[in-house]
Amino acid sequence: MKRTLGLTLIAALVAGCAAPDAGRSGQRGGSSSTGGTGSAAENAAAGAAIGAVAGCALAALAGKKCAQGAAIGAAMGAAIGWTSYSEKIANAQTVNNEARRQGIPVPVNEIRVKDYQVYSTSSVARAGGEPVRVVGEIKLYGESQRVPEVVQSMTLLKANGEKASDKPQIARVERIDGAGQYRAVGVYKIPRGMEQGQYTVQSVLLLDGLEVARRTTVFQVAQTAAPAMAKL
């Protein structure tokens, strides 16, 4: 199972490197991916950094060393050129106490996923309009001092199940410092001319390279209305 998942993600990344971006963009603190205000160098650097971490996780599944996977992942991430952002919104004590109240034993030497939910901030997106933000709410619990690598992979699917983009958005969840609640956001720029209808975002959460949760959310794509003719 682990090897199959790893090979699937690696294949998706390779396909993404061979194809142009289908119109996604992400932003944080005023910088965005290609087509926004951020520079190409900034986006490539961000993609390389995130790709290196994802590559390291995938290398473990393939029986390779982390450094080998990181080098390959960095090259892929730079070619992809996307960005995402994340933040910590609750501390370890809050999530661990919640688990205890629910009768869930809190592990002493391990960090585990307590809950993972995904949702879209928009039910309807306009082609060529404001980006769609897909949010992953991640709760980690445990008392281990070791900080796990957390990666979120999002794939956009059409109503018929076909992929709407040649590559998933694979991003390391930043600001992980142990247990707590984290919010990881993927930003999708809907290009003009994109087929109308319902789209599904399939999101996979990986903890130290292993799939620990899989969720989906949906939104509709509608064409932007043509501007009205000015009256003479």
**Residues 4-16 pLDDT 10s:** 444 444 444 444 4
Q: What is the 3-state secondary structure (H, E, C) of the chain?
A: CHHHHHHHHHHHHHHHHHCCCCCCCCEECCEECCCCCCCHHHHHHHHHHHHHHHHHHHHHHCCCCHHHHHHHHHHHHHHHCCCCEEEEEECHHHHHHHHHHCCCCCCCCCCEEEEEEEEECCCEEECCCCCEEEEEEEEEECCCCCCCCEEEEEEEECCCCCECCCCCEEEECCCCCCCEEEEEEEEECCCCCCCCEEEEEEEEEEECCEEEEEEEEEEEEECCCCCCCCCC
Integer Cα distance of 106 and 144 in angstroms = 10
Domain of residue 88: give its range.
Answer: 2-222
Q: What is the 3-state secondary structure (H, E, C) of 167-191?
A: CCEEEECCCCCCCEEEEEEEEECCC
Per-residue pLDDT, 31: 30
Q: Is position 231 within any domain?
A: no
Q: Is position 127 within any domain?
A: yes
What CATH number is associated with residue 65?
2.60.40.3880
Q: What is the pTM of this model?
A: 0.65
**Residues 29-87 pLDDT 10s:** 333 332 333 333 344 444 444 454 555 555 554 454 444 444 444 443 333 234 689 99
Q: Is position 232 within any domain?
A: no
Q: Is position 87 within any domain?
A: yes
Domains contained in the chain, number = 1
Q: Is position 94 within any domain?
A: yes
